[in-house]
Amino acid sequence: MLNVETRHAIDPATAATFDTTELREHFHVSNIFVPGEINLIYTHYDRMIVGGATPAEGPLELDHVAECGTASILDRREMTIVKLGGPGKVTADAEYDMVHGDMLYLGMGAGKITFSGEGRFYIISAPAHQTYPSRLIKIAEAANVTLGAAENCNERTIYQFVHPDVMKSCQLVVGMTKLQKGSIWNTMPAHVHDRRMEAYLYIDLDESARVIHLMGEPDETRHLVLKNEEGAISPPWSIHSGAGTSNYAFIWAMAGDNVDYKDVEMVSMETLK
């Protein structure tokens, strides 16, 4: 079963008037991993799609998505698939066996996609202008950088999978950040990048744990309370930062004009409100 929800773009002045229910309606990513279903959110932020596939009792096929306007979803798009939970397989232009934390890049024209096996598959897709080779990337093959310090509660390692230092893509940049035990803060000091949007998915949290995801303009911040395997859609004008009740990991994905990971506008702590 395929379900697709469309999220239209919201400007910062309108977002500043939202209450909790409205914020969650427009920016919260939840209930994408339902057994036997593929659930997609088609956003009007750089036309990124985020979603999940959970095969459960049998394989699930992803092919025609009416919102994309093409016969098959990858006719004019590229995609990254992140494996969560038990081992599984993705079949597209080839067969790819995946385990928890693996990321699979599928280039434009890779064909219909079939998901099978255990666990869940997190899906990220953006429009593409050129075909690049599909590639399965293990965490050992990702570029990585360790930042922060234990005394600031933000000791973390950033793993860059679909990234210019690892491979070529059209506009998708995707990776994973893991916080060490005792660390809870990510992406603070905060930043924005007006040339590209971003999507977060928080993972590896206990059932009772939560992350407070910060969003909004730097001087007009808001927050979302998220549990394991929930996320946030972050418009280009918004900060994207968070603090958890324990350490966690999160998948970050960007699409837009620039694939330069460092193309950001830093926000000083004094600016935040």
Indicate the annotated binding residues for Zn(2+): 191, 193, 198, 240
What are the tokens at 68? 């994309």
Token pair for residue 37? 């279903």
Cβ proximity of 114 and 90 under 8 Å? yes
With tokens 């979803």, the residue in question is 73
Q: What stretch of H or E contains 114?
A: strand 113-117
Is 78 in contact with 119 (CB distance < 8 Å)? no
Report how far residue 138's alpha carbon sits from residue 162's, in angstroms, rounded to the nearest whole number. 11
Query: Per the annotation, where are the binding residues?
Result: 191, 193, 198, 240
- Residue 152, token pair as written in the block: 């600031």
Which residue, chain included where needed, has tokens 């096929």?
61
Tokens 């088609």 label which residue?
42
